[in-house]
Amino acid sequence: MNFDYSDDQKMLKDEARRFLAAKCDAKVVRGVLDHDDRAYDAALWKAVAEQGWLGTAIPEAYGGLGLGHVELCALAEELGRACAPIPFASTVYFVAEALMLFGSEAQKAKWLPRIATGEAIGAFATSERAGPVTQASLHTVATGGTLSGEKIPVTDGDVADLIVVLAKDGLYLVEKGAGVSAEVLRTLDPTRSAAKLVFDSAPAERLGGDDGIVAMQAVFDRAAVLLAFEQLGGADRCLEMAKDYALERFAFGRAIAGYQAIKHKLADIYVKNEIARSNAYYGAWALNTAAAELPLAAATARVAASEAFWFASKENIQTHGGIGFTWEADPQLYYRRSRQLSLVAGAPATWRERLVSQLEMRNAA
């Protein structure tokens, strides 16, 4: 079985890389990093929306391109490679997927076209405290068409127009406005904003059934695959950066790429990246075909990609040596993003536990 991209998908990926090389270089990323008043790059967000990327997997009936999740995975990889400072993941991987899974016809018709055009930014609010999200940890409640509670941290919560909120009795749609306040949080990666959201009798619509934890995990499984491709793109870029620097940096009369210690670093990055890629491709297949193996494939892809990106970003800094730790050097951008992405939709430890449980369930069948 061939898990590689088709020729058309490779062409889409190549075009996306060229587009992002022109629209999202390190200066664009630093433009958000260095300015506290910028939660994301608005010009890049508009340009990405004009390309139609936000509606890649959204059906044409709702204003999307109606392509598929494999194409979205290809774009996610390139966005990760560019370290794009835009709320793409929150809006597309989480909110759009939640709407397509659980939304009513009216909810889809109202919000999916706005997401596809970039008019609406989304956020997915689940956690209220440190640790895994469980029924016992939830205190957000919905009564009489309104919702009250707090969520922290919420990625892109400060800029979101539409928030999918996990309450004790299910998922709810909350439009930013009356009854919703946001407090911006300082995080390791300022190129992806985060906020504490407080809901005080905010108007809310139910999204899906009564079991919010099950619904949340269904969205997380889908998002995990897409996040894995972002992480893979970032990890591959880190390897490329480290290799290029090792070839141009000379010490004791020779390029440092010729020294065994550097060769081993680069080889270790490559091995972890290839393991992550194979697992990500498995996840893309399961997601695109709605296979029963999706929970297992998503956990496998998530664990491997999180490990690969963190390792690659760390070793990229080490390969750059002293300059790699400076503010002027770009490796920090990827280290920051590797840490941020590893905590979205649950920490690696949570996904490792899910992977083990899925394997046990498969073996017991």
Residue 36 has a pLDDT of 84
From the list 195, 208, 120, the residue with the least C-alpha distance to 167 is 208
User: Residue 159 CA to chain centroid, in angstroms?
Assistant: 16
Cis check for the bond before 295: say yes or no (omega within 30 of 0): no
SS3 110: helix
Please tell me the distance from the alpha carbon of residue 319 to that of residue 232, in angstroms, as a whole number: 19
From the list 249, 234, 247, the residue with the least C-alpha distance to 312 is 234
Residues in the chain with pLDDT values less than 50: none
Please report how the helices 331-343 and 212-248 are oriented relative to each other, as an axis angle in degrees rounded to 10. 160
Helix, strand, coil fractions of the chain, as percent rounded to 5: 60, 15, 25
CA distances from 123 to 189, 197, 281, 318 (A): 17, 11, 26, 34
Please tell me the distance from the alpha carbon of residue 83 to that of residue 340, in angstroms, as a whole number: 11
Residue 1 has a pLDDT of 59
DSSP 79-94: HHHHT--SSHIIIIII
Residue 65 has a pLDDT of 94
Residues 6 or more apart whose Cβ sits within 8 Å of residue 38:
31, 32
DSSP 1-58: ---SPPHHHHHHHHHHHHHHHHH--HHHHHHHHT-TT-SS-HHHHHHHHHHTGGGSSS
CB 301 within 8 A of CB 228: yes
Residue 3 has a pLDDT of 67
By CB atoms closer than 10 A (0-12, 13-18, 19+), residue 87 is: buried
Residue 362 has a pLDDT of 85
By CB atoms closer than 10 A (0-12, 13-18, 19+), residue 150 is: middle
Q: Which residue is it, tokens 């793109």?
A: 233
Residue 77 has a pLDDT of 97
Please tell me the distance from the alpha carbon of residue 329 to that of residue 91, in angstroms, as a whole number: 30
CA dihedral (238, 302, 274, 21) positive or negative: negative
Name the phi and psi angles at 198, rounded to 5: -115, 125
Task: Go through the domains of the chain in sequence order and give each one's CATH number.
Answer: 7-117 (1.10.540.10), 122-206 (2.40.110.10), 213-364 (1.20.140.10)
Please tell me the distance from the alpha carbon of residue 30 to that of residue 234, in angstroms, as a whole number: 16
